[in-house]
Chain A
Amino acid sequence: MSLALIVSMVTRAQGILGTVTDDLGEPVIGASVVEKGNPQNGTITDIDGQFTLNVNEGTPIIISYIGYLTQEVKASSNMTVVMKEDAQTLQDVVVIGYGVQKKSVVTASIAKVSAEDLEGKTRLRADDALKGMAAGVNVTSSSGQPGSQSMIRVRGTGTINDTNPLYIIDGMPADQYGLESVNPNDIESIEVLKDAASGAIYGSRAANGVILVTTKKGKMGKAQINYNFSYGWQTAWKHREVTGATDYAILQNEKYINGGQAPLYADPYNLTDANGNAIKGFGTDWQELLFNDNAPIVQHDVSVSGASEKVNYYLSMGYYTQDGIVGGNYGKSNYDRLTIRSNNNFNIIDATKERNFLNKLDVSANLSYMRVHSTGVDANSTWGSPLGSALYLAPTLPVTLTGSIAEDMINQYAAYDLYRDENGDPYTIPGFIGSYQEQNNPIALMQQRPSQGWSHKFMPKFAIDLQLWDNLKYHFTWSAEQSFWGSESATTEKFYFSGNNNSDHTQASSEKANSTSWQIENTLTYDKEFGKHSIGVVLGQSALKYKGSYVGASHWNLINVNKPYVDYTTGGSVQTTTDAEGHIIGVTSLVSGWAGPYVEHHLASLFGRLSYNYDEKYMLQATIRRDGSSRFGSNNKYGVFPSVSVGWNIMNEKFMESTRDWLTNLKFRASWGKNGNENIGDFRYTVLTTSGGTSNYYFGRQASMVYGSKANGLANEDLKWEESEQTDLGLDFGFWNNKLTFTVDYYIKKTNGMLMTMPIPSYVGETKPIGNVGDMENSGIEFELGYKFNISDAHFSIKGNASYLKNKLKNLGNDTGFLNYGISQFSDGGTRAENAEPFPFFYGYKTAGVLQNTAQAAEYNAKYGSNSNPGDLIFVDMNGDGKITSDDRTKIGKPTPDWTYGLNFDADWKGFDLNVFFQGVYGADIFDATWRQDIASGNYPTWVLDRWTGEGTSNKLPLLKLGDSKNWVCSDIYIQDGSYLRLKNISLGYTLPRNLTKKAYIERLRVYVRAENLFTWTKYWGFDPEIGSSSTSMGVDYGVYPQARTWTIGFNLSL
């Protein structure tokens, strides 16, 4: 209807008729056509790109349209004007927070990833889209589980606390769940504000970088309809090598014999399983049974967009569903997401030609919606997770039991309903056959009903743009994020997997939560050029509020296991037991409920920014923001965060004229700023009461529970935000008309007053308080390189980025200058924070081989006063005190890579397009904590086969011995090189010739095939070198859910 209006407006009776098209021959709608020197005589092009202008032939006319180079041509009858895209204006604008800026005058360090950069790559999640795309932005997948979030670090680990960047989606702050709600296909650009100068406009939340996501708008012209479809097959790119039945039996025997006990297997080459069947070959390959090969991943996206002078719209819907490679085939690790977006902008009043005050009003109303369903398995855990269990269960253990031993097991667990396979045979309970602690039969685990998680998220936004006077503009937005999420879970069988994973009753539970964040912002902007002086001012105010609540309930004893609802359970809230005389001796609660509000979070802010440049030669920008946060006590309610940056476009100097034929661009940038991190939890500055839970105790002969209360911690009233100060120096080069571009940045970022749990002894008897005690420093160099070239019809583009990062914990803030974080199952080492070292690093003993014979052992023992035997590890006496003690523990590796890099190669030739994208890290270590040695019957990773078995057999791994507490301590024998290079994405597409598709009214049809994670080059022996666990367990592999190798076919269709 709006289009019809425009059409009627531009119809003219007579004059010169002409058509305006773009270089592809597409009509350009809404282009302005005016007679030169007579602005009153003008028109705009209609839906077919046509115009009629009342001028004589030969009269110069000017044709202009945003995004295209303005042209002056002489009017002629039935003329066709081909507009050329103005590459400068299209690409060289960056979003900077409360505004945009021409790239040529940007003085800060901002990385931009545009929709084009993401073309041809897998785009399931917005966080993944950034992987390898920008220098200084390190994205690590936390696991291959569908729907799992990636870990994003901007310029290193800035703090030992929450080191996630701030996400701003179209102006509204969001967390990583908010980012999840953005369909990557709807993204116009992602800007990463890396330095403090650019981040300062977000003040107390910008210390870990800011990621600005801008969604698409309609483009002038006729409606664009796009449909994208893809279907992929995912498979684990590798299995972890564990020992087969014979090797396992040999190692078990050896371990028991060395431990002074009888061997378990009479003949490791001739084994019989618990069912009495001979074990052939490998035995039970638990990983093979568990991994779900060719798990499907499907994506549909449809969008409709367009714009006219008055209306701009972008409407889209996306659906994506993925089965996991572990459990996806059992509905245990699945994810599907539906997203809908509606971006609309309306020009209500445009009187810019009539007056220069209150002359233009735009209103926009946007709404996005996301719905997610998900299930998941426990991942990256050695405590009974499916994948973890698959690594430890012996290959000699059958998946199911049959015959008399099955009967025995059924009798043993008579109170439970054991899961059975299709033949009716019960799945083996590992603990019935051997000693497996918390490990479960992973195939049995898969039979259990999954817990269903769901969420809905609405993100509405209403904005008003009003031109007040001259170039003074007023902008108002109200935006919000309304989330609803919950889960439904039920125990539909009385299951038994292991001693601490069983249930003797059925149960249903349901939980729901909701949260609302709203933000109101008012900004005034003024941009003006006075001769060669150009200034821009932004003044603004922002207020934000978050609140939410939750409610949930559970009830025992389902009436119908197929209707597992809390209210459909055998009535009653308690169950009593009575003694022989009928007296009640026990009471069990069958129903429970929980509900309450989340702690609110409020933020009130004022901010301002001044930008100035002289002739685009000398640039200056200064920013200040004052934030008040509800997270701090009255001593420190408000924080002020300033920044300043300068730039010098050396190329625009006269003296550089001589080099312009090859050096197109040379810019020097420098910035300094201060940012904050208020993401430290609520009420940490004060001590309040807490009741119930760990305060309760039973009193009385009849034991009735009495509720207690206590102080919830130790206080620190002076608690305030963390502050990070960053200095950035940058150089931008452009050669040969920017065919070759090169950018280099050096930065140094200091986090001061880092909040951390004070590393005090646990004999204080309470949760340790947090304080602004630490300092961290990150420094690094970032490079970005781009090169475009053509060879006849073929176009090539190479984009590369690399960043070197040096992270150093300056001051932990305690007396000792260090703090140990454990790695489960190791009590004598793990990860550690220590002054002047990278945070965190791996801490343990350094080894220097294995004692080969008694003579060597005697010498070692004499030297260090130890009682080691041949086959024991040689530990290095780091402090040289002649003893091997806990003081000899040292840095044995670090999880943070020195180098992170990405390389993107694009080529197209006659409708074919190719994208090859590599991504990798160098200089990172992994601590392999996947082998639980305390599980007596557990299987072995194959690297254990390299253990010492006699003189000369191994000089790295010690002997195997049951109950050995000497050798398998936390040492460098678990450290592996975590460097990798990954062919993240390779895709080959073909766009059908337009003259062919046009007949079917198809503008564009591209078909493609794509592979993700096709090759990974790494020395690491585990599932995946990418381990994105959070700060203190970074780089510790507990059996991570690996990334899938995915083959995808798909097409993009435009109408």
Chain B
Amino acid sequence: MITKKISIIAGFCAAAFTLASCSDDFLEVTNPTGEPLNEYYTDDQHLSESLTSAYAPLHWPDWDGSAYNDLTCDAEILGDDFWVGGSSISDNQHWHKLFNFEGDGNNTLGTLWGDFYSGIKRCNDVIQYCSWGGGTETNRRSYEMQARLLRVYYYSILWHYYGNVPFYLENLSSPYTATQLTADEIYNNLLPELEEIIASNVLPMRWTAAESGRVSQAMAYMLYAEMVMYQNDSARYPQALTYMKQIIGDSNYSLNPDFTDLWSENGEWCSESIFEINYDDDNAQRDWGTPLHAGGTVFPTLCSPNTWPGGEGWDTGMDGWGFLPMRLETYNMYADNDKRREATCWDVRGYTYTERYQDTHIWHGKYRPQTANCQDCPSSKNLNYNNNKRIYRYAETLLNAAELLLQTGGSASEAASYVNEVRARAGLDALNGVTIDDILNERHLEFCGEGKRYFDLVRAEGISGATEKASVKLVPDTYGYRTNSWTASKKHIPLSQSELDADPTLVQNNY
């Protein structure tokens, strides 16, 4: 009896042994939240998703979890319209160092590099997925072309700041390094690519309202003009002028009648807008722990006074960090009747708050914080203002066209008429004729605080007849803040030490 029982148990155990023995099936597990790439990127929907992810890095630089490298701040601290500010000279120290032209491998725009190379990598992926032939041809062509144009844009920012950067159009595999090209080589690679994109004519001049945010043919034209003019590449001026005139001739684009309204939520993607980086507070997923998620921007928080007592549409208790105080001289450069002053300069002389470093009581008006602009975000409000970052607008098309006309010996009166269109909106009298300096000055007034001034000053070095240029304007100030002068070697900021460490073949810029 007992023996029988024990035999049954032994039999049961033997069965358990067999059942539990290993098999390959047992070792296969599936990932609950991911699909193989070659199975997934085979239809319009999924290709479109990959393209969306290629746009995402556009919104990262203002706060990417490591550093604040907002595109406006990065450019304006190098220029002559703003101070750096912040709580002290050690707050966001890399800006203070770059402001005084004494950056180094540890005090540079390190993370901007990483953010936009992520963009480049994602664009390369989209282009590869499209080459697999999934989805409809029309959509696929559009996705591919958007990715190519976006990729040129990402490279152009790196090219502006760093000049000599690693360049690749297909994603890297082992040993994961790319050749560093000189700034001129980068330019010579990007321009033909840009010309090919434009020639393909795949992208619309303007996207529908629901698709606003995508790169368009007009955006390609603006990027083309910007790069050509920054390179002082006169051979391409006629082509750039043609592109500007195409935008001017397009009924989709015109100046927004009211300059102040341009900077409101209503002014986003108005008829004047050619390209913006989209931020929003509605359903923002961005928070301090998820900086790369879609949401609003921290820029209005960065560039606003600390301990604001409330008023001007910005409630008490809202957070301001005191970066980018506007120079008094910048306020004063506007004529009293220039309507742009009120929108550009947020004059809070008369308000009392805790002053931070280099405070002037005049702040960046175009992106000044408004409680209404962040109140809908479900997470940290100071990180989620809905202000889109304006990159290209029609006013620049006009001023580009005017400048290119002068450079190519075109009609001077036509050039003046473009400038006067911009001036008229500002409430200023028309000029009879314009010089290069007039145009640069108009750009200064029109685009103050939009990250264009510094690059205008640098390229003016290569424009004959221009007096508003870097070597003249970017010199020690009377306040003792900037003690060093800009020189040609400062055109390209230092590469990050960490990247030089990771890829020893990289050559540091001679800053």
Using a CB–CB cutoff of 8 Å, the interface residues on chain A facing chain B are: 259-260, 349, 351, 358, 361, 411-416, 431-432, 435, 437, 464, 466, 468, 474, 476, 496, 499-500, 502, 504, 520, 522, 541, 543, 545, 556, 575, 577, 585-590, 592, 596-602, 604-606, 628-630, 637, 682-683, 686-691, 693-712, 714, 758-766, 768, 815-816, 818, 820, 827-828, 886, 933-934, 936, 962-965
Contacts and interface: CB of A to CB of B under 8 A. Distances in A.
Contacts of B59: 697
A818 B119 contact: no
B53 A710 contact: yes
B316 interface: yes
Given A600-B29, A604-B27, A758 B293 contact: no
B23 A259 contact: no
A464 B9 contact: yes
B371 to A, nearest CB: 9
Interface in B17-60: 17, 20-24, 26-29, 31-37, 40, 46, 49-56, 58-59
Contact of A358 (B10, B171, B172, B175): B10
B36 A437 contact: no
Interface string B80-117: 00000001111101001100000001110010011001
A693 B293 contact: yes
Contacts of A705: 280, 282-283, 285, 294
A411 B352 CA distance: 13
B29 to A, nearest CB: 4
A965 B125 CA distance: 40
A538 to B, nearest CB: 14
Nearest to B3: A358
Contact of A435 (B88, B269, B281): B88
A596 B293 CA distance: 20
10 contacts: A500-B380, A597-B32, A599-B32, A689-B35, A690-B34, A710-B122, A760-B172, A763-B499, A765-B171, A827-B106
Contacts of A435: 87-88, 91, 356
B292 A693 contact: yes
Contact of B376 (A500, A588, A701, A816): A588
A358 B118 contact: no
A556 B166 CA distance: 47
A964 B88 CA distance: 11
B120 interface: yes
A598 B29 CA distance: 11
Contacts of B118: 765-766
A709 B53 contact: yes
Nearest to B35: A689
A900 to B, nearest CB: 32
Interface in B282-311: 282-283, 285, 288, 290, 292-294, 301, 306-310
The 3 closest A-B pairs by CB, nearest first: A765-B121, A604-B22, A963-B89
A697 B52 contact: yes
Contacts of B107: 827, 965
Contacts of A828: 105-106, 497
A504 B381 contact: yes
Contacts of B480: 260
B498 A762 contact: yes
A759 B20 CA distance: 41
Which of B278, B317, B376, B381 lies at the interface centre, i.e. has the most chain A CB atoms within 10 A of its CB? B317
Nearest to A768: B176
Nearest to A467: B6
A586 B107 CA distance: 39
B7 interface: yes
A962 B211 CA distance: 48
Interface of B: 2-3, 5-7, 9-10, 13, 16-17, 20-24, 26-29, 31-37, 40, 46, 49-56, 58-59, 87-91, 93, 96-97, 105-107, 110, 113-114, 117-122, 125, 165-166, 171-173, 175-178, 209-214, 265, 268-269, 278-283, 285, 288, 290, 292-294, 301, 306-310, 315-317, 319, 321, 354, 356, 372, 375-378, 380-383, 386, 480, 497-499, 501-504, 506
A696 B13 contact: no
Contacts of A588: 281-283, 375-378
Given A588-B283, A758-B176, A761-B499, A696 B209 contact: no
A695 to B, nearest CB: 4
Contacts, number: 328
A763 B113 contact: yes
Contacts of B278: 697-699, 703
Nearest to B118: A765
Given A413-B317, A588-B283, A703-B278, A630 B29 contact: yes
Contacts of B91: 435, 437, 934, 936
B307 A604 contact: no
A768 B121 CA distance: 12
A697 B209 contact: no
B192 to A, nearest CB: 22
B146 to A, nearest CB: 11
A762 B293 contact: no
Given A358-B7, A476-B13, 16 more contacts: A500-B288, A586-B375, A602-B27, A604-B22, A683-B31, A688-B36, A694-B53, A699-B214, A701-B209, A708-B56, A709-B52, A827-B106, A886-B497, A934-B90, A936-B91, A963-B88
B375 A413 contact: no
B293 A696 contact: yes
B378 A712 contact: no
A520 B16 contact: yes
B117 A762 contact: yes
Contacts of B13: 464, 466, 474, 476, 522
A957 B290 CA distance: 38
Which of A259, A466, A693 lies at the interface centre, i.e. has the most chain B CB atoms within 10 A of its CB? A693
A351 to B, nearest CB: 7
Which of A596, A604, A686 lies at the interface centre, i.e. has the most chain B CB atoms within 10 A of its CB? A604
Contacts of A541: 17, 20-22
Given A599-B29, A690-B33, A934-B91, A412 B307 contact: yes
A468 B13 CA distance: 12
A260 B483 CA distance: 13
A963 B9 contact: no
Contacts of B53: 694-697, 708-710
A682 B32 CA distance: 11
A688 B31 CA distance: 9
B113 to A, nearest CB: 7
Nearest to B93: A965
Contacts of A702: 209-210
Contact of A765 (B21, B28, B119): B119
A843 B463 CA distance: 47
A703 B49 contact: no
A962 B90 CA distance: 7
B98 to A, nearest CB: 12
A816 B506 CA distance: 13
Contacts of A599: 29, 31-32
Which of B27, B35, B46 lies at the interface centre, i.e. has the most chain A CB atoms within 10 A of its CB? B27
Contacts of A693: 285, 290, 292-293
A707 B49 contact: yes
Given A708-B49, A763-B178, A936-B87, A699 B281 contact: no
B375 A936 contact: no
A705 B377 CA distance: 13
Contacts of B52: 695-697, 699, 706-709
Which of A522, A708, A764, A936 lies at the interface centre, i.e. has the most chain B CB atoms within 10 A of its CB? A764
Nearest to B287: A500
Contacts of B22: 541, 543, 604-606, 628
Contact of A349 (B6, B119, B501, B503): B6
A766 B121 contact: yes
A550 B16 CA distance: 31
Given A588-B378, A761-B503, A601 B29 contact: yes
Contacts of A575: 376
B49 A358 contact: no
